[in-house]
Amino acid sequence: MILASGNRVRLRTIGVRDLKAATAHRYTLSITEPMTDPDHARRALDQTGFWQPKAGACAIESLVEGDNGRLIGTLQFYGAGPGIHGLEIGYVLHSEDDRGKGYASEALRLFSDLLFAEHPECHRLQLIIETWNDASARLAEACGYASEGILRKAGYSSPDQPSDCFVYSRVRD
C-alpha cells in the first residue's frame, strides 16, 4: 500500500519481498527491537504489517527512472519516550551509493507530514542523531527540524561506550 509519494521517492508498506534487504541493516526495522532475523521479521510482518497506531515502519522506494521501484531504505516511528508528548523517527538508506542524492530528505519530509496527518494528537516529532553524523544533522535541519541540544551517552554505536546525540524536533505549529 502506498503511504505517500514525491518526485524521487515513494513511501509504502513493507512487504515480504523487502525482508531480506531490510533485515540486513540493524536499524531498518527497529520499531521495538532491532530485527535482523528474517524469520522473526516475517512473523512480525504477518502479525502487524509493521504498521500500528503507535509504531510502524515503511519502505522507501526510488522513483528515479531506471530504478523500477527499488527499495533503498526504511523509515520507522515509535513513541518518543516517557514524559515526551510525541513520536520519534528513525531512518536509514541501505547503500552508501544512494546517500547525498535527496532521497532521505524527501522521504523524511513526506513521512513527517504523514505522521502529523495520521496523528492529530501528536504535536512533536523528534530525531536522535549521533553527534558524529554531520550529514544526518544537516538533513534534519533541511527538513525543518530544530536542534534542541545534546543527550550525553545516549547513542547506539557501542554498548560499552555510548555516544553523545543531538536531539532535533519538528513541532506541529
In a 3-state reduction of DSSP, which class is residue 35?
Answer: coil
- Main-chain dihedrals φ then ψ at residue 106, nearest 5 degrees: -65, -40
- Residue 83 DSSP symbol: T
CA–CA separation, 37 vs 22, rounded Å?
Answer: 10
Question: Predicted confidence band at 164 (pLDDT cuts at 50, 70, 90)?
Answer: very high
pLDDT per residue as tens digits for the range 83-128: 888 999 999 999 999 999 999 999 999 999 999 999 999 999 999 9
C-alpha cell at 2: 502506498
**pLDDT top residue among 159 and 128:** 128
CA–CA separation, 10 vs 61, rounded Å?
Answer: 5
Residue 26 confidence (pLDDT): 55
CA 132-70-36 angle, to 5 degrees, is 55
**Which value, to the nearest 10 degrees, does the dihedral of the CA atoms of residues 27, 28, 34, 37 take?**
-130
Q: Which fold has domain 2-122?
A: Aminopeptidase (3.40.630)
- Residue 84 DSSP symbol: -
pLDDT per residue as tens digits for the range 30-86: 554 556 677 778 888 888 888 888 899 999 999 999 888 899 999 999 998 888 889
Residue 39 confidence (pLDDT): 79
